[in-house]
Amino acid sequence: MDGSEALKEEIQPNRKENKKVHEPNKRNIWQEMKKNYASYLFLTPKLILFTMFIAIPVIWALVLSFQEYRVTESNIFVGLQNYIASFESTMFKKALWNTFRFTIVTVPFNIISALIIASLIFPLGKLSQNFFRSAFYLPTVTSMVIIAMVWRWMYNYDFGLFNHILGWAGIESVNWLGQSNSALWALIIMQCLIPFGVGIIMYLASMGAISKNLYEAATIDGAGPIKQWLYITIPLLKPTTLYLVILSTIGSFQVFTQIIMMTGGGPDGATETLVHLIYKTGFRDFDFGLAAAQSVILFGIILIFSVIQFRMLRHDD
Amino acid sequence: MSLCSLIELIIFLRGKNVVSRFKKSVLLTMMLILLVGLLVACGGDEGTTDEDGNWTGTITIWDGPRWPDADDNKYHWLEEKKAEFEDMHEGVTIEIVQVPWAELPDKLGVNIAGESWPDIAPVDISGSAVSSEHIEQGVIEEVDFLSDDDLSDFYDNALEAYTFEDKLYGIPNSITVHSMLLNLDLFEERGVEPPADGKWTWDEFLETAEALTFDRDGDGEIDVYGFSTYILEGYYEAWPFFYKDGGQPMNDDATEFTFNSPEAVKAIQDLADLKLVHDVAPMAHGGAEVGETFQAWANEEQRTVAMQPWATWAIQSAQDAYPTNFMVAEYPVGDLGEPLTIGGVGGWLMFKQESEAKKKVVAEFMQFISDTDEQYRMAVEYGVFPARISAADMDPYADNPQMARAQEMSEQVVMVPSHPQWKQIDEIIQGKLQVVFNGEKTAQEAMDEAAEEIERILD
């Protein structure tokens, strides 16, 4: 068997065998549950908590999105009025566009940078690998509130780090967070420069699971490190990439802490994002029906993006 | 025993065949009972009413930190009042919930939405979690228990702030005003005379700001600016300037946006031009940084701005936490010909009560903590102006000329418009003001845009 056949074998495992493994179980599902009732009983506490704190609120939000919330009286059914109001709102459109811009830049940047960093760390010795792994993961365990406060200082007009550096180059200071044309970009730059720790760790773990045989076979066939990276590493990391892209997209669409800590959505809505707007609609204006409709729209957007990404990046394509 | 532990115990015993005879329905019932018990435990206590109609039980009151005692306890005043009231009313317990002021509006809003409101809470009706919609929905109890004599003891503008459709929905407790604070050390350093008795015109103010803007160390960079303020939704330090030529944000019945009128536009542009044209204000002028703005005026290590407008709390802060040699001045007078300032009214609200008997006791406690003596004490210790005329007549600021000067400005107070959607309207206005102050748009362009967006809300 030459190298390319080995590669084919590794990438495309025996489909027949696979099919056999996943053959549907024809036994009655209830009988199966009865047999394993102890497992289900163990799951019950978590299921109760999930139902109480996730499932019921989600369903309640969906119901609420068709209602006008009243405190001491019954809610009023308003049909699609909250959805129409959302799409007619200038601020909602602005928030949608800002969130989209934030996501479209930060997600690819974070994923690609995580892949490159992981690829650079992976060949290192165990000690160095552990050091860099910890160093890049550190921001993930640090509160975003703290990170945002540090970045606020770095963006300060009078004594911030960035304007200090611009000053050395003789460039005029920039009002990073105060100008509507620079504020969102300041937040995007911040998000891009914070290492995507989870991505790096997951890529490193996935790289470790790739068989060395593939690289040996590719070397025998004359492929250099770049080609090996492009044709072995990246394709085999596709499931991880898919997971990280979806995870990162959801995170970007839900960006909130940076906004509330650094700009509050201003100036003039230049950094308003969907989740921050939902928060304001719900907890400042107490228009829970409208906030629920905005949440459902956000859910729909994330779902559509996730399905598209899943279809584009799924492993068996 | 927690639910998880119970289930694990059942499984363990099941494995040991101890409860093998237990039917599933029994296990399920036990779990349900436990769950219901947990939920019931989260419920409130409405107290009891005896045959004579006397109510006993717990009254919940929220409050923020006020002035500290020797042990740095900032809730000691309310704790004292609680103890006194409980002594007078056997069987009545006052539960104090301590809430930082900054969190109070959000927390109150969430609790209102969840119908788990306190019995009493301190609410500045001009910019809080409570709106006229809540009054319409019956969340707030009407204050119909004050006598005519008692009502006549309050300033009219204080009562008006808590009045909705001719009914009173709160007991006013304090009035705050915004005033100009002038760092006299910087005036002296530059040889500039402060305005006589704190009264001045816009031109005099501009001239003073120019004289107070200077490069102290000769490095070509300005070290001290004459003036600065900030723009942020819910805050109105800058707004009295926008009224100076006769403009106002909305017409009198709050049905039309009017900040795009020539008078208002000119006033807005004038204030922005302090930075954009006259260079007498720093880049932070018109930004959203509250803390940094105050530090630039008050912090001894900075003092990079000579004049700033602030609410009443800053006067006490400049006397205690940030000792500063300062004076209180009025906002400069423009084409309107008279000085104006924005004020706020704080007071106690009673939330919906389940029984008349409890409402009576809650009302009694509200009156107990907002009588003349308490408002006088609040004025002396906490630095707010009394809403009761009798408390103001006791001259709480006899030894505090700066507070006394600010209190004189209570007569110049105008309130922000009262509108159910004021928060959304305010957000649009303040956002547009920010882009005027950072030079991206002229006041006319920004206010015309604001008008378009606000008209949609008003429609």
Q: What is the DSSP letter of B170?
A: S
Max mean pLDDT range (B20-29, B286-295, B301-310):
B301-310
For B74, how many CA atoms within 13 A lie in the half-sphere containing its CB?
11
Residues of A with CB under 8 A from a CB of B: 38, 41-42, 44-45, 48, 69-73, 88, 90, 157-158, 173, 175, 178-181, 263-264, 266-269, 280, 283-286, 288
Q: Round to whole Å and give the CA distance between A260 and A280.
A: 10
Structure tokens at B99: 């809430």
Contact: A283, B232; criterion CB under 8 Å: no
Q: Evaluate the omega torsion of the peptide bond into residue A13 and state whether it is cis, within 30 degrees of 0.
A: no
The pLDDT-based confidence of B34 (bands split at 50, 70, 90) is low
Contact: A283, B440; criterion CB under 8 Å: no
Bridge partners (DSSP) listed for residue B62 = B97
Structure tokens at B280: 């007498």
Planar angle of CA B161, B162, B163, nearest 5 degrees: 95
Contact: A285, B423; criterion CB under 8 Å: yes
Rg (CA), chain B: 27
The pLDDT-based confidence of B110 (bands split at 50, 70, 90) is confident
Closest C-alpha to A279, from B455, B459, B109, B429: B109
Q: Round to whole Å and give the CA distance between B118 and B352.
A: 9
Residue B296 distance to chain A (closest CA, Å): 12
Bridge partners (DSSP) listed for residue B172 = B347
> Is B424's Cβ below 8 Å from some Cβ in A?
yes
Cα distances (Å, whole numbers) of residue A210 to A200, A205, A233: 16, 9, 8
Tokens 């600065």 belong to: B228
The pLDDT-based confidence of B316 (bands split at 50, 70, 90) is confident
Structure tokens at A219: 């070397």
Q: Evaluate whether ipTM surpasses 0.85.
A: no
User: If residue A57 lies in a helix (H) or strand (E), which one and from where to where?
Assistant: helix A56-64
Chain B nearest-CA residue for A264 = B288
Residue B109 distance to chain A (closest CA, Å): 7
Cα torsion angle, B402, B405, B407, B412, sign: negative
Q: Residue B246, by phi and psi: left (phi above 0), alpha (psi -120 to 50) or beta?
A: left
Calculate mean pLDDT across residues B201-215. 96
The counts of H helices and E strands in chain B are 19, 13
Q: Round to whole Å and give the CA distance between A196 and A198.
A: 6
Q: Looking at the predicted structure, is the pLDDT value of residue B3 above 60?
A: no
Check: CB of residue B316 under 8 Å from CB of residue B185. Answer: no
Contact: B284, A288; criterion CB under 8 Å: no
Q: Round to whole Å and give the CA distance between A275 and A59.
A: 18
| Chain B residues with beta carbon closer than 8 angstroms to that of A72 | 115, 137-139, 352
B329 — phi, psi (to 5°)? -125, 165
pLDDT at A217: 93
Q: Looking at the predicted structure, is the pLDDT value of residue B43 above 80?
A: no
Contact: A180, B438; criterion CB under 8 Å: yes
Bridge partners (DSSP) listed for residue B171 = B348
Contact: A286, B283; criterion CB under 8 Å: no
| Chain A residues with beta carbon closer than 8 angstroms to that of B35 | 48
Mutate to test the interface with A, among B133, B225, B438, B455 (most CBs of A within 10 A): B438
Residue A226 distance to chain B (closest CA, Å): 48
Bridge partners (DSSP) listed for residue B311 = B178
Q: What is the pLDDT of residues B227-239, one digit of tens each?
A: 999 999 888 999 9
Number of Cβ within a 10 Å radius of residue A275: 19
Chain A nearest-CA residue for B304 = A158
Contact: A71, B112; criterion CB under 8 Å: yes
Mean pLDDT of chain B: 87
Cα distances (Å, whole numbers) of residue B116 to A71, B352, B353: 10, 10, 11
Check: CB of residue A63 under 8 Å from CB of residue A52. Answer: no
Mutate to test the interface with B, among A268, A271, A281 (most CBs of B within 10 A): A268
> Is B395's Cβ below 8 Å from some Cβ in A?
no
Planar angle of CA A262, A265, A269, nearest 5 degrees: 140
Closest C-alpha to B181, from B228, B223, B138: B228
pLDDT at B32: 55
Planar angle of CA B32, B38, B39, nearest 5 degrees: 90
Instruction: Provide the pairing of β-strand B385-386 with B341-350.
Output: unpaired
Q: What is the pLDDT of residues A212-233, one digit of tens each?
A: 999 999 999 999 999 999 999 9
Looking at the partner chain, which of A44, A72, A180 has a beta carbon nearest the beta carbon of B435? A180
Kindly provide the residue ranges of all beta strands, DSSP E only, lying in chain A, ordered along the sequence: 67-68, 76-77
User: If residue A90 lies in a helix (H) or strand (E), which one and from where to where?
Assistant: helix A90-121
Closest C-alpha to B143, from B122, B172, B117, B108: B172
Check: CB of residue A152 under 8 Å from CB of residue A216. Answer: no
Q: Percent helix, strand and coil across chain B, each rounded to 5?
A: 45, 15, 40
Contact: A158, B3; criterion CB under 8 Å: no
> Is B6's Cβ below 8 Å from some Cβ in A?
no
Q: Round to whole Å and give the CA distance between B264 and B49.
A: 57
Pairs across A and B, CB distance < 8 A: 88
Structure tokens at B116: 């788990």
Q: Looking at the predicted structure, is the pLDDT value of residue B11 above 50?
A: no
Tokens 């934030």 belong to: A102
Q: Mention every residue, 6+ apart, whose C-beta is less than 8 A from residue A18.
A: none
| Chain A residues with beta carbon closer than 8 angstroms to that of B8 | 42
Query: What single letter denotes the amino acid at residue A224?
Result: G
| Chain B residues with beta carbon closer than 8 angstroms to that of A42 | 7-8, 11
Q: Round to whole Å and give the CA distance between B154 and B348.
A: 14
Calculate mean pLDDT across residues A266-279. 93
Q: What is the pLDDT of residues B359-395, one digit of tens each?
A: 999 999 999 999 999 999 999 888 889 999 999 999 9
Q: Scan residues 229-268 of B and list those with Cβ closer than 8 Å to A.
A: 232-233
Of A145-149, B50-54, B443-447, least confident by mean pLDDT is: B50-54
Of A69-78, A129-138, A180-189, least confident by mean pLDDT is: A69-78
Q: Round to whole Å and give the CA distance between B301 and A19.
A: 74
Q: Mention every residue, 6+ apart, whose C-beta is less than 8 A from residue B375.
A: B173, B174, B386, B387, B388, B391
Tokens 């970045």 belong to: A151
pLDDT at A34: 82
pTM: 0.80
- Alpha helices per DSSP H over B42-169: 76-88, 104-113, 132-136, 148-151, 156-161
Query: What single letter denotes the amino acid at residue B294?
Result: F
Of B219-223, B267-271, B412-416, least confident by mean pLDDT is: B412-416
> Is B438's Cβ below 8 Å from some Cβ in A?
yes
Structure tokens at B183: 């760092």
Looking at the partner chain, which of B4, B137, B435 has a beta carbon nearest the beta carbon of A71? B137
| Chain A residues with beta carbon closer than 8 angstroms to that of B106 | 283-284
Looking at the partner chain, which of B11, B432, B456 has a beta carbon nearest the beta carbon of A268? B432
Closest C-alpha to B26, from B39, B13, B40, B43: B13
Residue B107 distance to chain A (closest CA, Å): 9
Tokens 């700033």 belong to: B308
For A114, how many CA atoms within 13 A lie in the half-sphere containing its CB?
30
The pLDDT-based confidence of B8 (bands split at 50, 70, 90) is very low
DSSP B40-66: HHTS----EE-TTS-EEEEEEEEE---
For A302, how many CA atoms within 13 A lie in the half-sphere containing its CB?
20
Closest C-alpha to B140, from B346, B285, B353: B353
Contact: B129, A286; criterion CB under 8 Å: yes
- Alpha helices per DSSP H over B277-334: 290-298, 313-319
Contact: B110, A157; criterion CB under 8 Å: no
Residue B424 distance to chain A (closest CA, Å): 8
Q: Looking at the predicted structure, is the pLDDT value of residue B79 above 60?
A: yes
Looking at the partner chain, which of A41, A70, A264 has a beta carbon nearest the beta carbon of B137? A70
Contact: B109, A286; criterion CB under 8 Å: yes
Contact: B7, A267; criterion CB under 8 Å: no
Q: Round to whole Å and give the CA distance between B246 and B429.
A: 17
Kindly provide the residue ranges of all beta strands, DSSP E only, lying in B263-340, ordered along the sequence: 305-311, 326-329
Q: Which domains are seen in chain A, by residue range?
A: 2-81 (no CATH), 84-316 (1.10.3720.10)
